[in-house]
Chains A and B, each alone.
Chain A
């Protein structure tokens, strides 16, 4: 390990945050929502290194830096950088850390951000490492839940769609372990919640129920309906895909008997799993959810730089 004393606090995975730290970050995010434009980062340079393109995440982070008054360097696609010339991740990180006070990185390899945080003299924020972790997404999901429900404790949370490969739903389980949720997993057979996560729920005394169909009856008690995409590429059995592809679509008429406080979340991008006419339903929350990402990321950036 090269870096023994990093100048700030890296954020690699939500697992390393305590309940108190999560609540504190959410509180700061709500302060940023009240006043998003603050020149806290005047004179700071933040690098956004996107070894894998993700326009949505990059724009959100870069907007957060801009609203805080910081400067941005970086790249949005590794094919334009030296890593395609065979430069190691380590060399890129060491080079960039000479220039920047903070590195926000997304990488297609799992564990890339953890490794970067071990060698970098400046803090690292993980903006997604392959199928592994994407802590700022989870934090904005938590923020959206807390904001719409007024609390995080004792909620009925329904996770729908691809629960096998969906990184966001797995992180949600891990983050909610402090808040006594009741989970409902609604997924096609091939994309069921993996056992390792069900074991995690049991270990942390989180109740869960499994359903193989998305229906009006199944979601009647939901406080949060967290929708994800069911992608064709994930199926080994294409017959199964054809059979289920239209059954995991949320339609407006399914929402008539749901609870008044129900809110629908989705990590975006959406394809067809939420019908367009739900967008004007007051229970739809996915666009505001994405906007919340800005305030949460402002809090995460300031926290990484020890400026909260």
Chain B
């Protein structure tokens, strides 16, 4: 390995698995919950309040021997837009990309409209992402739009 910045050393410590980087420090445990990491029985390292040139302070999570599908990680875009996902194979970064908003979000998010059917029936919510840049969702049922700042997770 030629380059060796601090963060890459952290990454390099993993032989195979996933590194979720550039998590805002106050969202680290939301990421743990959203990905259901407490149900993954593999070595997991959680770091918070680490210094970052770009962000001032950041969190990082490393999960050994486990990979996520795009739809699993895309929901992280609901809590922070610039989270970076690294896939590690044989101590090397095999893939690295910033997660993006999916076109559709099923479950996870609660509709903000108290008169929406989803808040009264035992059913899952569904939203179309109508504006990926500003983070605007539209409920598939009541058609009300909610912005990412006012999102409540289920």
Chain A residues at the B interface, C-beta cutoff of 8 Å: 13, 88-90, 107-112, 114-115, 129-133, 196
Chain B residue numbers with a CB within 8 Å of A130 are 115, 142
For chains A and B in complex, what number of residue pairs have CB atoms within 8 angstroms?
A: 49
* B97 located at the interface, meaning its Cβ lies under 8 Å from any Cβ of chain A in the complex: no
Q: Which of A13, A90, A109 contacts B116 (CB 8 A)?
A: A109
Chain B residues at the A interface, C-beta cutoff of 8 Å: 113, 115-118, 120-123, 139-145
Q: Which of A88, A108, A131, A132 contacts B121 (CB 8 A)?
A: A88
Q: Which of B116, B122, B145 contacts A111 (CB 8 A)?
A: B116
Given contacts A88-B122, A89-B121, A90-B123, contact A131 B115 (CB under 8 A): yes
**Assembled-state Cα–Cα distance A110/B118 (Å):** 9
Name which residue of chain B comes closest to A118, CB basis. B123
CB distance from A179 to the nearest CB of B (A): 22
Question: Can you give 26 A-B contacts (C-beta < 8 A)?
Answer: A13-B143, A88-B121, A88-B122, A89-B117, A89-B121, A90-B121, A90-B122, A108-B115, A109-B115, A110-B113, A110-B117, A110-B142, A110-B143, A111-B118, A111-B141, A111-B142, A112-B117, A112-B141, A114-B140, A115-B117, A115-B121, A115-B141, A129-B117, A132-B142, A132-B143, A133-B143
Name which residue of chain B comes closest to A90, CB basis. B121
Chain A residue numbers with a CB within 8 Å of B116 are 109-111
Chain B binding surface SS class: loop
CB distance from B127 to the nearest CB of A (A): 12
Chain A residue numbers with a CB within 8 Å of B117 are 89, 107, 109-112, 114-115, 129
CB distance from A4 to the nearest CB of B (A): 17
**Assembled-state Cα–Cα distance A111/B140 (Å):** 8
7 closest Cβ pairs, A-B complex = A111-B141, A110-B142, A111-B117, A111-B142, A109-B117, A112-B117, A115-B117
**Assembled-state Cα–Cα distance A111/B143 (Å):** 8
Q: Are B141 and A114 in contact (CB under 8 A)?
A: yes
CB distance from B62 to the nearest CB of A (A): 37
CB distance from B6 to the nearest CB of A (A): 46
Q: Name the residue in A88, A90, A108, A111 with the highest tally of chain B Cβ atoms < 10 Å from its Cβ.
A: A111
Chain B residue numbers with a CB within 8 Å of A132 are 142-143
**Assembled-state Cα–Cα distance A90/B140 (Å):** 17
**Assembled-state Cα–Cα distance A111/B144 (Å):** 10
Chain B residue numbers with a CB within 8 Å of A112 are 117, 141
CB distance from A266 to the nearest CB of B (A): 25
**Assembled-state Cα–Cα distance A107/B141 (Å):** 13
CB distance from B134 to the nearest CB of A (A): 13
CB distance from B114 to the nearest CB of A (A): 10
Since A109-B115, A130-B142 are in contact, a sample of 5 more A-B pairs with Cβ atoms closer than 8 Å, ordered by chain A residue number, is A90-B123, A110-B113, A115-B118, A129-B117, A131-B115
Chain A residue numbers with a CB within 8 Å of B143 are 13, 110-111, 132-133
**Assembled-state Cα–Cα distance A19/B66 (Å):** 49
CB distance from B141 to the nearest CB of A (A): 3
Chain A residue numbers with a CB within 8 Å of B123 are 90, 115
Name which residue of chain A comes closest to B145, CB basis. A196
CB distance from A78 to the nearest CB of B (A): 13
CB distance from B42 to the nearest CB of A (A): 33
**Assembled-state Cα–Cα distance A90/B141 (Å):** 14
**Assembled-state Cα–Cα distance A132/B118 (Å):** 14
**Assembled-state Cα–Cα distance A115/B121 (Å):** 9
CB distance from A87 to the nearest CB of B (A): 11
CB distance from B110 to the nearest CB of A (A): 13
**Assembled-state Cα–Cα distance A109/B116 (Å):** 6
Q: Are A110 and B121 in contact (CB under 8 A)?
A: no
Chain B residue numbers with a CB within 8 Å of A13 are 143
**Assembled-state Cα–Cα distance A196/B142 (Å):** 15
**Assembled-state Cα–Cα distance A89/B121 (Å):** 7
**Assembled-state Cα–Cα distance A191/B141 (Å):** 25
